[in-house]
Structure 1
Amino acid sequence: MKTHARFFALIALALATSAASAQFVKGNEAVKVMTDGSKKVEVPPLPSVALGSPCPAAKPGCTGGGWKMLESDSGLVECTEVFARPTTCRPSTYGVEKRSRAWIVKVRGQWMQCVQPDISGECVSLKSLPVSAVQ
């Protein structure tokens, strides 16, 4: 009986750990943990060309190729664009709702978008075509 209880406890722990680790992308250079424990987070810089008005995260139909998942000072957010301008992001629904998502990360000094929250997987430069997957 104790063996079964330990087995189920280990499974529960593994599931909880995997769900928690998916809330950030390991190796994302955009997130720096400071010596006091606080986080300093970068987002992709605005392009030199003028952008149109931001499409608010609260407005239906603004996701155009899926949600862009970014780290922010307050944690993981999903945005309608990669630049995270004001009103374009909202708290993450990852792990609660399945949506088309692209993970925006900084790897070796370059901004990339990845299909999964993992920089060793399928990632392309932000300068390339968008990548997303329903998750």
Structure 2
Amino acid sequence: MNKKIIWIILILLIIIGGIFSIIHFHNRSEAEEKIDQYIADYGIPKSKIKSEEYPMFNSLSAPKGFTKTVYVKNENNKNNYYIFHYDPSSKKVKFSGVVEGNEISMQDKLIKKLKYQPSDKVLNQ
């Protein structure tokens, strides 16, 4: 009898874990599509992207959502990069960047030091 209960609980845990995994990967896929579209709208050509970091799971201290970090080729300063964050509650992508070790927003004056500047389409969103 005890073995049946343990097996039932184990099967339920596997099913619940599977459901949560499917939901997470669906949301992650949707977020990546929106982030990629935002990057294209921002004006960074795909051919100029050196690397991207899109972690499977964010850290617990990170804001809710999904974040993609983009490093571009021939950036003036190797410490400069772009961060795009998808917020599932507002269903919007937000930009921030890192310039010389300082995280900046779209309104920061240091944004001019990034190789690619936001397009009018992004600025008017």
TM-score tier (shorter) = 0.3 to 0.5
- The TM-score, its normalising length taken from structure 2, stands at 0.35
- More helix per residue: 1 or 2? 2
- The TM-score, its normalising length taken from structure 1, stands at 0.33
- More strand per residue: 1 or 2? 1
Which of structures 1 and 2 has the bigger CA Rg? 2
